[in-house]
Amino acid sequence: MANLQKRDLVSIDDLATAEILELFHHADEFRDNLRNWSQLCGGTIMATLFFEPSTRTRLSFESAMLRLGGGVITAADEKTTSRSKGESLADTVRVVGGSYADILVLRHPEDGAARVAARYARVPVINGGDGAHEHPTQTLCDLYTLWKEKGRLEGLEVVLCGDLRYSRTIHSFCYALARFGANIVTLPYPGFELPDYVLHRLRRDFGVQAAAASVADLPGIAGSHNAAAYLTASKPHQLALFTNLTAHEVNRIDAIYMTRAQRERHSGEETKNYPRLSSHTLRAAAAKDARVMHPLPRVDEIDYDVDDDPRSVYFRQAELGVPMRMALMAFLLGRIQLRSSPPALVSTTLGIQAGAGLRCRNERCITNGEGVRYLTRDFRLRDSESPPILACAYCEREVEARFVGVAGSQQVFRYNAPEARRLRTEERVWFESEAQALAAGFQVAGRGPENAGTV
Ligand code: NCD
């Protein structure tokens, strides 16, 4: 039975902005003397379940727990676990999260896996990276580093560079940057731009406004392509459609966040001429006070001679991971309290069940992977207007639900038909298309205006 009181960190959205700031202050205290806290979590055990390679994330979690006085059990290689025999994640965490361990840290190759673990484990679950979805504790380390370096996050100009499509660190980081009022310049490797579902969220939930960016002042990494975008965290009333782009000159940069090509998630795509940051790049006037960030591991994206530049903070990000993770675990284990309230929607419960209707369109989502065997397709209603937008409750990929039906009568209506509006939320079954509804055995009964509300 799920422990409804527990808090998990699956997405960076699971922490309120004020809570994150409080955690920074706790991390500062832990950092003052890392060896002073061995009584705080005495008697507790953390399990790390890492089904993908890791150096920093797993070892910093384990170090953090040992410094808090707790114990650590670890599965660092899926080949040594029952996953290799076909055991489901749900079964694994049901067993490990209980008498074996009081808190779980999971790394998994499938998008949305951490939400599955949070759902089935009785103890708090921390997402150590699930597929290309999110990596919220890396974001805590990134924000904490930037906050310490710059003294604030609001109004900062942050350049995100490289593989923005598959980097889970980027996805969590840009939601948080938008929330803290930082501006984002994206410098993707062509074909590896921020995914649409991330851009939609930035626009809808954070009122982020987009413009084309000119970053010609960054020699080397900007390359010859011109796909830079400027994403401004703005007030909702300033919200503009992404199609109305006005050019923005980027002349001050506070941070350049490089990422490696996430080759393990590519399907054979070439990454020739991948962006590379050199000391030459850092001579640009706009980069004078920039901090160079990277979640690591670095492959070739940052030249080694940049390491000695005082503006390089990537090893600091990794170092601050220990006190930051100490603060997070002490909080989730109830050993320190935060004064701030949790976010309005703490996602320990799932959303509406799509039943016979929708299927997540993300082929890497756990609901289309190992979860086919046991997960129901759960979605959250993100936007009930024209047409309704539903997001997969695990990986958050969005679909437009243009048809809505009712299970009892097997009838389906276009979302804007008068009959559809009369349906109670809990009896609705959603479909993307008429064909999907027909395939599920529903009859189309009410069509409504064909083109109304098309976005
Ligand atoms: C990142 C990851 O695993 O997503 N590494 C990390 O946790 N610091 C980044 C990466 O692998 O490129």
CA of 357 relative to ligand 1 center, distance in Å: 35
Ligand 1 nearest atom to the CA of residue 128, by list position: 7
| Residue 317 beta carbon below 6 angstroms from any ligand 1 atom | no
**Atom 8 of ligand 1: nearest residue by CA position:** 295
Q: Which of 133, 258, 296 to mutate to test the pocket of ligand 1 (most atoms within 8 A of CB)?
A: 296
CA distances from 417 to 156, 307, 337, 387, 412 (A): 45, 61, 49, 11, 10
Instruction: Give CA 361 to chain center in angstroms.
Output: 17
Amino acid 247: pLDDT:
67
Sheet holding 291-293, edge to edge: 248-249, 208-214, 229-233, 183-188, 157-162, 255-258, 291-293
Q: Which of 133, 138, 164, 274 to mutate to test the pocket of ligand 1 (most atoms within 8 A of CB)?
A: 138
| Residue 169 beta carbon below 6 angstroms from any ligand 1 atom | yes
pLDDT along the chain (455 residues), means of 10: 76 97 98 97 98 96 98 92 91 95 98 97 98 98 98 95 96 96 91 91 85 75 64 56 58 94 90 90 93 97 97 98 98 98 67 72 96 90 81 92 88 90 83 91 77 42
| Residue 296 beta carbon below 6 angstroms from any ligand 1 atom | yes
| Residue 168 beta carbon below 6 angstroms from any ligand 1 atom | yes
Q: Which residue has the tokens 């601050």?
A: 320
User: What CATH architecture does domain 12-136+320-332 belong to?
Assistant: 3-Layer(aba) Sandwich (3.40)
Cβ atoms within 10 Å of 118's Cβ, excluding its own: 29
CA distances from 189 to 112, 141, 167, 272 (A): 25, 24, 12, 10
DSSP string, 296-332: S--SSSB-GGGTTSTTB-HHHHHHHHHHHHHHHHHHH
Q: Which fold has domain 149-313?
A: Rossmann fold (3.40.50)
CA of 167 relative to ligand 1 center, distance in Å: 8
CA of 25 relative to ligand 1 center, distance in Å: 25
> Is 298 exposed, middle or buried, given 0-12, 13-18 or 19+ CB atoms closer than 10 A?
middle
Ligand 1 nearest atom to the CA of residue 262, by list position: 12
Amino acid 145: pLDDT:
98
CA of 139 relative to ligand 1 center, distance in Å: 11
Domain segments of the chain as ranges = 12-136+320-332, 149-313, 366-451
Domain 12-136+320-332 and domain 149-313, same fold? Reply is yes
> Is 254 exposed, middle or buried, given 0-12, 13-18 or 19+ CB atoms closer than 10 A?
buried
Ligand 1 nearest atom to the CA of residue 260, by list position: 12
Q: How is the chain split among helix, strand and coil, in percent rounded to 5?
A: 35, 20, 45
CA of 415 relative to ligand 1 center, distance in Å: 41
Amino acid 5: pLDDT:
81
